[in-house]
Amino acid sequence: MTSESFNASVFLTDRQVAAGRGEHVAITGPAGELTYGRLAERVAALAAGLRGLGVRPEERVVLVMSDRPETVVTILAVMRMGAVAVPVSTMYGGAELGDLIRDSRARLVIATPEFGPVTRAALTGAPEVTRLLLADPADRDWAEIAEGGGQADGAPYETWRDSPALWLYTSGTTGAPKAAMHRHGAIRDVYETYGRQVLGIRPDDRCLSVARLFFAYGIGNSLFFPLAEGATTILDPARPTPAGVLERVGRERPTLFFAGPTFFAALLATDAPDDAFASVRLAVSAGEALPAEIHRRFTARFGVEVIDGLGSTEALHIFISNRPGAVRPGTSGTVVPGYEAKILDDRGAPAGVGEPGHLYVRGDSVATGYWCRTAATRQVFQGEWLRTGDMYVREEDGSYRCLGRSHDMIKAGGIWVSPMEVEARLLQHESVGECAVVAYIDGDGLEKPVACVVPAAGRVVDARELIAFCRDGLAAFKRPREVVVLEELPKTATGKIQRGVARRLAADRLGKD
């Protein structure tokens, strides 16, 4: 049985050269610039070098790399020669990184120089690794391999749509990190669905993403979409900070800007001029639901439309999204063409309009499963449907509104309360800078909503005033019963609120009062 040949690396590079865009800039930024022609040459040369090194088709190659041209070249070269690229978080410590490398069964690990020490430490827990390469032009081994390693054959391996191309580790839906396995064809799928039909990416676009290449969100923003369209990606190896990103926006003049709610809030807290994002035609938010108030403030101040959407590592990118010119603040928008979604109640029956339930999605970009995680795969990948782990409600107009992760919902007085709905109300109060609403178990063993609040700059939080403010704008049972004032919210390295930690902080604080 034969299938039509398809290699994602060829789709992203050689195709652009064949279309006459060889002199167009593919990658730019402080770490260097590459045209499409030079990118294609370097990808083919490194693919030949990896083949000469003994890397085999469908073998995993782990990448511990910052966002720079060498990283894009490496991801594409690994896929070109039929192996599986496994970019992993550069925020892991040695032991955590070692666990992931060992789990992947990789023999080759490639790291950018700044992550050489932590990667070497990680390899003490990954005995199957036989080679560590530092992607440093000054390193003789890397330079030789990157130039082909004396091998002449940089031709792409004959892969097809269903050939394995990319693993992305995630802990999103079931806890411990596990690898979501993606096919070559899925990379084209996310471009043709979200990239073309929602983002409307154009060859003259310049893409800047706060999310890094090792995230599903980031690799779509900075690699799949711009290269598939023949546009330009802006890469910065530095850790993203509001000041650094604002400087990069000013220097590189992106037209598409991608971030998450926490980063949009952080940008609002800076003294950036109102025209800081004048070059940006569209901003995108994902990772968590974007509160309507942050959307309002950002759009009003900077004059840039923000479209919020929902995606996941398991689906490779965004599958429900707002649309440019038709944003419903506080919602995730509507289903992206090419996907289907459904909401089921706790019994597995379809939820009606306005009724909360568990969100499922299906589409061609969904992963084939988790590597060596049979139980988790069966729990999340249910036939053609992906169980996202999110609670949602579908509105009358067809838009989808996030209620939170399934395990973050609060049952107060026997009625479900969405933390995000209460948080959206709290953020409308002038004294609130950030907030997280979590469940507190009282002395009778009952769940109560509690608001963990970080005051806005120069403001003082009055707990009674905030509770009354929520009661005035929400059903009474949704109001926080207590307010816990914090200097900062506990967050992951990616900026997501650690609600489990927030619950423990609230319990400790209230238990002592």
How many Cα atoms within 13 Å fall on the side-chain side of residue 413?
Answer: 9
> Could you tell me the sign of the dihedral formed by the alpha carbons of 306, 312, 318, 320, in that order?
negative
Question: What are the start-end ranges of the E strands in 354-481?
Answer: 357-363, 381-382, 385-394, 400-405, 410-412, 415-417, 432-441, 447-455
- Which residues of the chain register pLDDT less than 70? 1-2, 152, 171-176, 413-414, 444, 493-494, 512-513
The CATH H-level (homologous superfamily) assignment of domain 208-351+391-405 is: ANL, N-terminal domain (3.40.50.12780)
Place of tokens 């499409």: 36
- For residue 173, the model assigns a pLDDT of 44
Task: Return the domain boundaries, the chain.
Answer: 8-197, 208-351+391-405, 409-512
Give the pLDDT confidence score for residue 493 in this predicted structure: 65
Nearest to 68 by CA among 38, 29, 100: 29
Instruction: Confirm whether 8-197 and 409-512 share one CATH topology.
Output: no
| C-beta separation of 173 from 310 below 8 A | no
Q: Which residues, including other chains, have CB under 8 Å from residue 352's CB and lie 6 or more apart?
A: none
Contact 403, 391 (CB under 8 A): yes
Say what the pLDDT of residue 497 is.
84
pLDDT of residue 174: 45
Q: What is the dihedral of CA 499, 472, 286, 350, to 10 degrees?
A: 90
C-beta contacts of 491-496 below 8 A and 24+ residues apart: 491/262, 493/89, 493/91, 494/91, 494/211, 494/215, 494/260, 494/287, 495/260, 495/262, 495/263, 495/287, 496/260, 496/262, 496/287, 496/288
Distance CA 225, CA 5 (A): 21
Q: What number of helices (H) and strands (E) belong to the chain?
A: 18, 25
CA Rg value for the chain: 23
* 409-512: CATH number: 3.30.300.30
- What is the pLDDT at residue 374? 95
Output the pLDDT for position 407: 76
Beta partners for residue 417, in sequence order: 410
Count of positions (residues) in the chain: 513
Write down the pLDDT at residue 413. Answer: 65
Specify the CATH number of the domain 8-197: 3.40.50.980
